[in-house]
């Protein structure tokens, strides 16, 4: 983490998930870069509509208002636009009153290489290759799926995470994939007191936990949930792992293979992260969903 950011929670986000750039993207695909650039410049005074991650960013930035003092959450814009074509994006940021001042405009090149330089805990994009590159460099990252889900009212920010290959490594999932449920259950029960290795979202979860600890329990605007297909007795290793890390999860749902969508809706998640595409697609009608292309399910 860069020294000037101290212990801030740092989130990097692409312009295409912060704002609705579907029309601009259509022009780029159908007419090419020159037409796209001309369109963005010609319309730079027109404010963009919010994108799928806009409500999440709004709630993240409101945390700074609740804590007062130095900001504890930093949101950074990473974009494949040039600074010239990206002016419309910053005009829209200013219009909505989002406190975002740092950005990297890469003129068509992948911006993922700046994720580590900025010390980011999380990178959200709809460009799958950029997300994979960030994950390969040790940063939590997800491809945000389009969602028709409306913003949940209020300032409370609710994160939901799958377990294996997201918070934890995919070591147990490899056993399930290669040797079946019975062997998975047996080995997890036998290893119940042996903590799982960290997955790509462990550091992000730890940063959230640190931020939560700055609030009184009944005043914290952040809530976390583990939503996993595991069930008893394979749940114990998960509990012991989180305990060994010193990380508290507010809610834990052990679903034993049940579909996750209705449970995520009942929990009221603002965003859900899962490594398996089919789980993401079933969840996205109910909640903003980030696909984490990591682990054996994505090989």
Active site residues: 162
CA atoms within 13 A on the CB side of 251: 17
For residue 79, give the nearest of 138, 30, 42, 36 by alpha carbon: 36
Which three-class secondary structure state does DSSP give residue 268?
Answer: coil
- Cα 277 to Cα 98, 110, 202: the distances in Å are 31, 23, 20
- In this structure, what is the dihedral angle of CA atoms 182, 186, 189, 195, given to the nearest 10 degrees? -100
- Asked if residues 233 and 256 have their Cβ atoms less than 8 Å apart, the reply is no
Contact criterion met (CB below 8 Å) for 118 and 102: yes
């Amino acid at each position: 983490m860069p020294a000037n950011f101290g212990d801030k929670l740092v989130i990097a986000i692409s312009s295409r998930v912060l704002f609705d750039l579907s029309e601009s993207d259509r022009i780029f695909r159908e007419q090419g870069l020159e037409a796209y650039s001309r369109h963005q410049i010609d319309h730079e005074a027109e404010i963009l509509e919010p994108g799928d991650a806009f409500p999440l960013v709004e709630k993240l930035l409101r945390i700074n208002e609740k804590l007062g003092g130095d900001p504890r959450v930093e949101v950074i814009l990473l974009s494949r636009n040039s600074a010239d074509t990206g002016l419309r994006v910053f005009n829209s940021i200013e219009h909505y009153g989002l406190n975002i001042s740092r950005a990297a405009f890469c003129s068509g090149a992948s911006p993922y290489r700046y994720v580590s330089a900025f010390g980011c805990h999380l990178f959200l994009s709809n460009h799958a290759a950029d997300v994979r590159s960030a994950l390969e460099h040790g940063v939590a990252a997800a491809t945000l799926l389009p969602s028709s889900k409306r913003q949940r009212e209020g300032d409370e920010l609710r994160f939901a995470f799958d377990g294996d290959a997201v918070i934890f490594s995919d070591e147990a999932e490899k056993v399930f994939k290669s040797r079946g449920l019975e062997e998975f259950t047996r080995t997890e029960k036998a290893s119940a007191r042996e903590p799982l290795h960290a997955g790509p979202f462990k550091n992000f979860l730890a940063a959230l936990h640190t931020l939560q600890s700055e609030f009184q329990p009944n005043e914290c605007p952040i809530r976390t949930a583990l939503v996993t297909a595991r069930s008893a007795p394979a749940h114990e290793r998960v509990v012991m792992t989180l305990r060994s890390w010193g990380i508290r999860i507010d809610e834990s749902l052990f679903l034993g293979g049940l579909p996750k969508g209705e449970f995520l809706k009942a929990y009221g998640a603002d965003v859900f992260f899962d490594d398996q595409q089919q789980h993401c697609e079933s969840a996205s009608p109910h909640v903003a969903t980030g696909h984490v292309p990591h682990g054996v399910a994505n090989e």
